[in-house]
């Protein structure tokens, strides 16, 4: 497989959305859906036996006495039924419900050892799944017949379903062995005197189409696993007459059948019986008819599709188990790490002796591109900080086409500087602001973010430790009303309060968010400043720092409020940029996996974690969701629903804990069930598009989102435990 190609993003920002190669993705999903439908149709009803026989169709015309009192093989000649009796001292061994990869080879081995031919009535879906077994049956001198494609009861099925079942089975045989068959045994059938009116209607239709409809003389009922002795006894009630004996080589555990078969063969031979196939015993033309090239092609297509569907379901089942287990373990670990992180915070607060406040000069750098809607609230919240040290605020207007620069200058705050430059992208704006800053401690803030009054003080506090190069703050969603806002609010809280606490404890922080981060100037200089190689410059910068000697920590009490996208279109643009940019950064820093020391620890732990849960899981997850629908339709819906509800309960527990430690109201959990079936799928599709774009090497631009200025409105309140945010958004 070719490695992904990550071209550098265009230097300008734009509002165009990259094409997502959805035709290819849609085709893949369509093929997968078709495979599930085939698998559901074929295997949703397989493995049944006469114990599951549906009731007979009422008011159906009964079979004539010549049929119910006749032989076990029936056909129709000139509109009249005809029965065939097996010649005396002749035994026909028949096996239903196969081929089965476990039991059919064992039965074939017994037959070959004794030199006995048999007739196998095959379920078409099984024949398509195991074509090699069909060929093995024919190579040993046996013959095969149809047992319908899905083991459906033809006596209770409409005529169109019977035609479909028999046609599909013929196609499966054509693809598997290049033959059609003239033999049919209807599922749930037994001896002729047990033929119902519905059975007779179906048998008459099949016989009119040229089939020899084969019933049985002796039903061993081996499907019920009554014991080897019972099976042998049931097969030996022949009294010298010719018999067709019914066994099963599929549909369940057939160990008793395999054990009983040698005793049956030896016992019948001792009584002078010879063994033959159905057509061989009746001296009729062979039941196997070679097919034409076009019939073989149609059959081969069916076999390929069926086998591909079987394989896909097997892979999907394994992926479902693996991903479910990993996701459950991940949630439990996140809760455990978050609890440990909180305990560490409490220990530090209780054991650390009082020290003078850390009050270095701080420069706040705000890159802004068309942020007229919210730049005033952002700057005022910085100026309204309770930080007691010297503070400078730098707004870098990165070629805005609106009044961003004029609004920032018009605020009249003396320690606010506005720098205007041609559009160079966010990394260029950040580097310009960093170069112009006078302080060694830098706070980098997005132009749509509002700080609480104590945020700067809390954010830079960890930098008192000279080993720490950067600090991530805690971002909260300000516009959290409605479904989209509620989903993002819950996502932010769970992401920051669970994932980031784990990253902090392990020392593998992948992202200091652009909305709120504090950096030491020497640490930024160590990695060459903010790079423009990716669309996620904050992740790229943080990963670069993780590969150096600098530590990166998380300050949960340093809160910033940001304006999240309010429409699906804007949300898609933002998350696509994040997803694609994160993949770019992961690929850029992939060598860390093989390095030693702090960089190797980051690579092997963090990059592996991100690859597993932010790339691979979202790629597989849509198929898993589709398989859940498949399970509700074709499998036991109670089991599927119980599994989903159990997983949801685990998510609720994790979400409740994250909200609790972040002092948020638990009512935010109302969106979680809907998030699992709507919002989450959208995020998965974003990841799929990002991966497709990376594999095809498409050049991407910065995807800026349109701001509505949620913090610029007077009286705007969030659900923070502090009410001081209102003061920050309306002035000091």
The DSSP secondary structure of 704-726, one letter per residue, reads ------TTTSTT---S-S-STHH
Give SS3 for 551.
strand
Catalytic amino acids? 96, 248
Residues 231 and 346 in one domain: no
379-398 pLDDT per residue, tens: 999 999 999 999 999 999 99
Q: Are 467 and 523 in contact (CB under 8 A)?
A: no
Residue 274 has pLDDT above 50, yes or no: yes
CATH number at residue 479: 3.90.550.10
Residues 429 and 530 in one domain: yes
Torsional sign, CA 608, 613, 618, 624 = positive
Residue that finishes a domain, picked among 230, 254, 272: 272
Residues 474 and 341 in one domain: yes
The angle, 0 to 180 degrees and rounded to 10, between the axes of the packed helices 293-351 and 617-634 is 120
Task: Assign 56 a pLDDT band (cuts: 50, 70, 90).
Answer: very low
Residue 10 has pLDDT above 90, yes or no: no
Residues 592 and 470 in one domain: yes
661-675 pLDDT per residue, tens: 998 999 999 998 888
Decide: residue 106, CB within 10 A, 0-12 exposed, 13-18 middle, 19+ buried. middle
Task: Assign 351 a pLDDT band (cuts: 50, 70, 90).
Answer: low
Residue 9 has pLDDT above 60, yes or no: no
Cα separation, 247 vs 237, in Å, equals 14
Is 709 inside any structural domain?
yes
> Cα dihedral angle (502, 508, 514, 520), rounded to 10 degrees?
120
The DSSP symbol for 636 reads -
Residues 344 and 268 in one domain: no
Considering its fold, how many domains does the chain have in total?
A: 2
How far from 671 is each of 327, 686, 726, CA to CA, in Å? Answer: 20, 20, 26
Predicted pLDDT of residue 50: 40
Is 410 inside any structural domain?
yes
How far from 550 is each of 345, 504, 606, CA to CA, in Å? Answer: 20, 13, 16
Cα separation, 508 vs 630, in Å, equals 39
Residues 265 and 362 in one domain: no
High-pLDDT (> 90) share of the chain, %: 59
Residue that finishes a domain, picked among 247, 272, 297: 272
463-500 pLDDT per residue, tens: 999 999 999 999 999 888 889 999 999 999 987 778 99
161-206 pLDDT per residue, tens: 999 999 999 999 999 999 999 999 999 988 888 888 888 999 999 9
The whole-chain average pLDDT of the chain stands at 86
Cα separation, 467 vs 552, in Å, equals 9
212-257 pLDDT per residue, tens: 999 999 999 999 999 999 999 999 987 889 999 999 999 899 999 9
Task: Assign 48 a pLDDT band (cuts: 50, 70, 90).
Answer: very low
Record the pTM. Answer: 0.73
Residue whose C-alpha is closest to residue 287's, from 418, 403, 117, 413? 117
71-118 pLDDT per residue, tens: 999 998 877 888 999 999 999 999 999 999 999 999 999 999 999 999
Enumerate residues 6+ apart whose C-beta is below 8 A from 119. 92, 93, 94, 95, 142, 143, 144, 145, 183, 214, 277, 278, 287
32-50 as b/e: b if 16+ CB within 10 A: beebbebbbbbbebbebbb
DSSP 232-248: HHHHT--TTS-EEEEEE
Is 632 inside any structural domain?
yes
Stronger pLDDT, 11 or 113, i.e. the higher one: 113
Enumerate residues 6+ apart whose C-beta is below 8 A from 178. 290, 291, 296, 299
Residue that finishes a domain, picked among 272, 294, 310: 272
Residues 617 and 702 in one domain: yes
Length of the chain: 732
CATH number at residue 107: 3.20.20.370
Predicted pLDDT of residue 474: 94
**Residue 435 is inside which H or E element, if any?**
helix 425-436
Decide: residue 57, CB within 10 A, 0-12 exposed, 13-18 middle, 19+ buried. middle
Residues 361 and 258 in one domain: no
Predicted pLDDT of residue 709: 55
Q: 10 Å Cβ neighbour count for 315? A: 12
How far from 259 is each of 226, 275, 555, CA to CA, in Å? Answer: 12, 19, 70
Is 199 inside any structural domain?
yes
Phi/psi zone of residue 327: left (φ > 0), alpha (ψ -120 to 50 degrees), beta?
Answer: alpha
DSSP H stretches of helix in 271-374: 278-282, 293-351
Residues 366 and 247 in one domain: no
Is 587 inside any structural domain?
yes
Is 299 inside any structural domain?
no
**Residue 378 is inside which H or E element, if any?**
helix 375-383
Stronger pLDDT, 272 or 683, i.e. the higher one: 272
Cα separation, 444 vs 430, in Å, equals 8
Predicted pLDDT of residue 333: 92
Predicted pLDDT of residue 720: 39
Cα separation, 618 vs 624, in Å, equals 10
DSSP E strands in 360-410: the ranges are 362-368, 391-398
Decide: residue 151, CB within 10 A, 0-12 exposed, 13-18 middle, 19+ buried. buried
Residue whose C-alpha is closest to residue 394's, from 369, 368, 426, 418? 418
Residues 509 and 643 in one domain: yes
664: its two tokens: 């948020």
422-474 pLDDT per residue, tens: 999 999 999 999 999 999 999 999 998 999 999 999 999 999 999 999 999 99
Cα separation, 563 vs 686, in Å, equals 20
Beta strands 73-77 and 13-14 are unpaired
Is 11 inside any structural domain?
no
Residue 6 has pLDDT above 70, yes or no: no
Residues 702 and 567 in one domain: yes
Task: Assign 349 a pLDDT band (cuts: 50, 70, 90).
Answer: confident
Q: Which domain holds residue 158?
A: 90-272
The DSSP bridge partners found for residue 82 are 75
Torsional sign, CA 255, 257, 258, 259 = positive
Residue that has been written with the tokens 């949620």 in this structure? 710
Residues 265 and 373 in one domain: no
Beta strands 468-477 and 517-520 are antiparallel
Q: Are 389 and 359 in contact (CB under 8 A)?
A: yes
Residue 16 has pLDDT above 50, yes or no: no
Q: Are 156 and 54 in contact (CB under 8 A)?
A: yes
Is 386 inside any structural domain?
yes
């Amino acid at each position: 497989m070719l490695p992904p190609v990550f071209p550098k993003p265009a230097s300008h920002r734009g509002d165009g959305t990259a094409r997502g190669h959805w035709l290819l993705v849609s085709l893949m999903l369509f093929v997968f859906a078709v495979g599930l439908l085939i698998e559901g149709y074929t295997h949703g009803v397989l493995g049944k036996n006469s114990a599951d026989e549906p009731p007979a169709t009422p008011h159906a015309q009964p079979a004539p006495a010549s049929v119910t009192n006749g032989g076990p093989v029936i056909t129709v000649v000139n509109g009249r039924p005809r029965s065939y009796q097996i010649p005396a001292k002749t035994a026909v061994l028949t096996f239903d419900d196969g081929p089965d990869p476990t039991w059919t080879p064992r039965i074939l081995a017994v037959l070959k050892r004794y030199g006995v031919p048999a007739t196998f009535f095959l379920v078409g879906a099984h024949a398509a799944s195991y074509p090699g077994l069909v060929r093995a049956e024919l190579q040993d001198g046996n013959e095969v017949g149809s047992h319908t494609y899905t083991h459906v009861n033809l006596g209770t099925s409409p005529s169109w379903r019977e035609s479909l079942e028999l046609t599909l089975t013929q196609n499966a045989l054509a693809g598997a062995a290049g033959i059609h068959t003239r033999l049919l045994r209807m599922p749930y059938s037994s001896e002729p005197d047990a033929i119902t009116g519905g059975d007779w209607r179906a048998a008459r239709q099949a016989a009119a189409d040229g089939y020899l409809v084969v019933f049985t003389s002796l039903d061993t009922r081996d499907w019920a696993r009554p014991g080897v002795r019972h099976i042998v006894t049931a097969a030996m009630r022949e009294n010298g007459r010719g018999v067709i004996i019914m066994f099963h080589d599929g549909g369940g555990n057939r160990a008793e059948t395999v054990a009983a078969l040698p005793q049956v063969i030896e016992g019948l031979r001792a009584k002078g019986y010879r063994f033959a196939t159905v057509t061989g015993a009746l001296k009729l033309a062979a039941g196997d008819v070679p097919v034409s090239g076009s019939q073989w092609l149609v059959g081969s297509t069916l076999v390929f599709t069926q086998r591909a569907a079987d394989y896909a379901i097997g892979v999907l089942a394994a992926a479902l188990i693996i991903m479910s287990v990993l996701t459950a373990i991940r949630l439990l670990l996140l809760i455990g790490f978050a609890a440990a992180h909180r305990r560490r915070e409490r220990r530090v607060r209780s054991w650390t002796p009082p020290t003078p406040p850390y009050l270095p000069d701080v420069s706040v750098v705000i890159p802004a591109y068309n942020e007229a809607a919210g730049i005033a609230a952002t700057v005022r919240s910085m100026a309204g900080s309770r930080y007691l040290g010297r503070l400078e605020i730098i707004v870098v207007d990165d070629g805005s086409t609106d009044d961003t620069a004029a609004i920032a200058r018009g605020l009249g705050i003396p320690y606010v500087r506005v720098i205007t430059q041609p559009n160079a992208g966010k990394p260029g704006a950040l580097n310009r602001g960093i170069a112009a800053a006078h302080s060694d401690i830098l706070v980098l803030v997005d132009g749509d973010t509002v700080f609480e009054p104590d945020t700067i003080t809390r954010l830079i506090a960890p930098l008192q430790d000279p080993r720490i190069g950067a600090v991530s703050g805690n971002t909260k969603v300000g516009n959290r009303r409605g479904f989209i806002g509620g989903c993002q609010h819950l996502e932010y809280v769970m992401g920051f309060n669970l994932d980031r606490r784990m990253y902090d404890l392990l020392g593998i922080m992948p992202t200091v968010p652009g909305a709120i981060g504090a950096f030491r100037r020497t640490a930024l200089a160590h990695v060459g400043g903010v790079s423009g190689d990716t669309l996620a410059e904050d992740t790229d910068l943080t990963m670069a720092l993780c590969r150096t000697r600098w530590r990166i920590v998380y300050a949960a009490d340093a809160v910033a409020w940001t304006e999240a996208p309010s429409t699906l279109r804007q949300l898609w643009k933002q998350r696509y940029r994040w997803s694609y940019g994160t993949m770019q950064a992961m690929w850029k820093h992939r060598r860390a996996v093989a390095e030693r020391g702090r960089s190797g620890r980051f690579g092997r732990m963090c990059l592996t974690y991100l690859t597993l849960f932010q790339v691979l899981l979202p790629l597989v997850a849509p198929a898993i969701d589709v398989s859940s629908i498949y399970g509700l339709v074709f499998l036991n819906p109670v089991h599927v629903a119980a599994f989903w509800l159990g997983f949801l309960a685990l998510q609720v527990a994790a979400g409740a804990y994250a909200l609790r430690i972040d002092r948020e109201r638990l009512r935010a959990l109302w969106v979680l069930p809907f998030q699992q079936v709507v919002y989450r799928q959208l995020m998965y599709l974003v990841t799929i598009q990002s991966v497709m774009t990376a594999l095809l090497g498409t050049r991407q631009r910065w995807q800026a989102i349109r701001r509505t200025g949620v913090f610029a409105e007077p009286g705007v309140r969030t659900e923070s435990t502090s009410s001081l945010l209102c003061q920050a958004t309306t002035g000091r």
